[in-house]
Structure 1
Amino acid sequence: MIGKVNMKKLNSKETKQVLLQILVFFDEFCKKNNLRYTLAYGTLLGAARHEGFIPWDDDIDVEMPLSDYRKCLSILEKQPISSRYQLHSMNTELKYNEKYYYPFAKLEDSQTQIHIFKTHDIGGAFIDIFPMTPLPRNEKLWYFYNKKARLLKIMISGIDGTNRSKFRNSVSYLEGKIFNYRSIRNSLWNLATKYETHNSSSYLVDGTWHDYKDKNFSLKNGLILIILYYSKVTIYL
């Protein structure tokens, strides 16, 4: 995301209000275009347990089936630069003259500005949009898929921003000098969508960013999707 002039700087409370406005816009967009999505991660937990944000959380994550995600991007990426809500993705680097490190998309309110910790992002409040991608059905393929995905995520998250320890910051600096972030990002996207033809698979995850360690997720366990109503926003599955 890119920095702009004349943007309103937001505090934490204002950021949450703007994030909800982005979510309402996204919800209306999905209804209009017959797209499915669900809240995810801390956003889903906050909606279920707190009827809003988790007190210490200040972002919004949504997930979409991969086919819906692709359609979403194909429409929103065509929004003019002057639009208030702008989609940033792997395909919009030239459009916004920016370095975009992630294999998933972000929907940004271009009229705002927030402070983003531990990454190189500069710009407005945004929600993360993750595609739900199939896992390999074979146990051995799953094992190597997970190991490679975790390595790529560590590498790209290291290049993009500042980590907690001085040692890791030094390693990240070297990674940035040795590896091109685009090649790592694209490799992660290609890996996440490698099994896209497995439409019959019961195992869908956000393969573009979040990892699933052996103790937390295995091919023996499915994912539970919950239909929720977030304020006045209907969540589609």
Structure 2
Amino acid sequence: MMSSESREELNIEQIHQVTLDIVKKLIEICDEIHVNYYVAYGSLIGVVRHKGFIPWDDDFDVVMLRNDYEKFCDYCTKHQKEMSPYKLLTRESEEKYPYNIARLNNMDYQAVYDNVQGYDSGIFIDIYPIDGAGTNAEQVMKRVKKKKSNLFRITLWSIDDHYTRSTYHKWYRSVIKYFVRLYAKIRGSKYFLDQLEAFKNLYDIDESRYIAEMTWDSGLTLYEKKWFDDYLYMDFENLKVKVPVGYDEFLRCHYGDYMKLPPKEEQIPHHEYKVYLR
């Protein structure tokens, strides 16, 4: 395989085309094994506002309720050979994989990261598991949000591959970060990823009014479970994709007026990687 320096980086239009093929593969598998996915986050804005990719966005996100997520991951793990060049990456399938979400990859391509511990990644779509989040929103937020945010920050330091000084905080915050990051490196990423993963067991999803992305990302946003009681089909490029029946409420709780375009200077990709054909 050639080094990244001798290969031509894919542009965003090329990434979109490969990503669209990965989405088709996801839909094919979900239909075959009868699990639901829901397009989510910025990709859902793309569905509703653009009927396709947000022109400057370089990723694709879906969520699955925990049982469907586990069933999907189990299927992909057992059928890895016949899925090639598609490959599902999880912490169970890849020793160095540093996230508590799954990624469905096209391994004909390679994503080269700026500051994440090394693992072999292709062009991918993110698959987030959604878990139960109780019935009392105030109690759940008080119990989980701050602890999860702090733990997530340390987890990111445990999986980065070099120290970056905080430029927007006072000097002593950088000192604190240096020593906490050192502790995180000594402890190892598995310790912190396991702690985050344990949040999935706090609440029974069947008994919960709310659901949430409990095991990854900073902070905590609660969704009414009824928003995911059913799905709608909406246009995405040349596909029909599933969105939660409560997609409007879901987007408003995350983004407010999601139909309004961001300022021009914010219309850029936000991921720290480059993509190449292997």
Is TM more than 0.5 here?
yes
Cα deviation, 1:125-163, whole Å, max 9, x if unaligned, reads: 011111111113343344121222112211112222369
Match of 1:110 among 96, 107, 110: 107
Give 1:13 deviation, angstroms: 2.1
Partner in structure 2 of residue 80 of structure 1: 80
RMSD of the alignment, in Å?
A: 2.8
2:92 is aligned with 1:91: yes
Identity %: 28
Partner in structure 2 of residue 148 of structure 1: 147
* Counterpart Cα distance in 2 of 1:100 and 1:6: 23
Larger radius of gyration: 2
Which amino acid is 1:14 matched to?
Answer: Q
Cα 1:137/1:77, change in 2 over 3 Å? same
2:217 is aligned with 1:222: no
* Counterpart Cα distance in 2 of 1:164 and 1:56: 28
Which piece of structure 1 moves more, 111-120 or 100-109?
111-120
Cα 1:114/1:198, change in 2 over 3 Å? closer
Partner in structure 2 of residue 177 of structure 1: 185
Q: Looking at secondary structure, tell me which structure has more strand per residue.
A: 2
Partner in structure 2 of residue 21 of structure 1: 21
Partner in structure 2 of residue 132 of structure 1: 130
* Counterpart Cα distance in 1 of 2:63 and 2:241: 14
What is the SS of the residue equivalent to 1:77? helix
What is the SS of the residue equivalent to 1:235? strand
Which amino acid is 2:124 matched to?
Answer: F
Cα 1:203/1:183, change in 2 over 3 Å? same
* Counterpart Cα distance in 1 of 2:15 and 2:180: 29
Cα 1:92/1:118, change in 2 over 3 Å? same
* Counterpart Cα distance in 1 of 2:53 and 2:243: 19
Matched length? 223
Q: Looking at secondary structure, tell me which structure has more helix per residue.
A: 2
Give 1:81 deviation, angstroms: 5.3
2:216 is aligned with 1:209: yes
Partner in structure 1 of residue 207 of structure 2: 200
Give 1:171 deviation, angstroms: 5.4
2:42 is aligned with 1:34: no
CA contact (8 A) 1:63 1:130 kept: yes
What is the SS of the residue equivalent to 2:224? coil
* Counterpart Cα distance in 1 of 2:88 and 2:145: 28
Stretches of 4+ aligned residues off by more than 4 angstroms: 6-9, 162-165, 223-226
Partner in structure 2 of residue 47 of structure 1: 47
CA contact (8 A) 1:156 1:181 kept: yes
Which piece of structure 1 moves more, 66-75 or 133-142?
133-142
Partner in structure 1 of residue 197 of structure 2: 189
* Counterpart Cα distance in 2 of 1:46 and 1:25: 19
* Counterpart Cα distance in 2 of 1:128 and 1:88: 10
Partner in structure 1 of residue 251 of structure 2: none
* Counterpart Cα distance in 1 of 2:54 and 2:139: 37
What is the SS of the residue equivalent to 2:103? strand
* Structure 1 portions without partners, runs of 5+: none
Give 1:164 deviation, angstroms: 9.7
What is the SS of the residue equivalent to 1:115? strand
* Counterpart Cα distance in 1 of 2:58 and 2:163: 19
* Structure 2 portions without partners, runs of 5+: 167-173, 245-278
Which piece of structure 1 moves more, 77-86 or 162-171?
162-171
Partner in structure 1 of residue 160 of structure 2: 161
Which amino acid is 2:210 matched to?
Answer: Y
Which amino acid is 2:125 matched to?
Answer: I
* Counterpart Cα distance in 2 of 1:106 and 1:171: 31
